[in-house]
Amino acid sequence: MGSEQRPPKPPAPRRPARRPAATSTWKPNRFAFRLIGIPVLAVAGVLLYRGLHDYFVLPECDSTRATKTLADIFRQLKIQPLRYEPIKTISASKAEVVCNALLPLAEGGNVNIDYRFFWQGSTAEMRYSISRPPGQNPG
């Protein structure tokens, strides 16, 4: 009885090994995401910033936004300047931008416009005054 031999102990069950195929396909996908996704996110961020920029910053005197506004005003008043320059910035701060322009007209002469952009609550507003320099014939 003392010389009984015990049967050999069965080996411990093995854990299944990870499949290398699943790991190797993930790395190229991650690289492709970084290669394509990061620039796409950067472009989307820039576009979002440019779209929201107008809601947080007053336009500069000679910006596209300001010249489009001036063109709308002149169209309503039936005034046709030859060009929208030279435009001078008189003063600029976060609360107000003051501008002046002496623009040549298509029918001859010049028109002087003083305008300013300012915040009215959370909206950017514009005030302007238009005059012809003395000694010119009104059209």
Looking at the DSSP bridge assignments, the partners of residue 139 are none
Distances (CA, A) of 49 to 46, 57, 92: 5, 11, 22
Per-residue pLDDT for 100 more than 60? yes
DSSP state, residue 25 = H
Residue pair 85/102 in contact (Cβ under 8 Å)? The answer is no
Per-residue pLDDT for 3 more than 70? no
pTM over 0.75: no
Q: Is the bond preceding residue 86 a cis peptide, omega within 30 degrees?
A: yes
Cα dihedral across residues 102, 107, 76, 132: positive or negative = positive
Q: What is the pLDDT of residues 51-98, one digit of tens each?
A: 776 778 898 998 888 999 999 999 998 888 888 888 999 999 999 999
DSSP state, residue 109 = S
Domain spans of the chain? 19-53, 64-131
User: Residue 125 and residue 69: Cα distance in Å, rounded?
Assistant: 11
Residue pair 90/102 in contact (Cβ under 8 Å)? The answer is no
Residue 79 confidence (pLDDT): 87
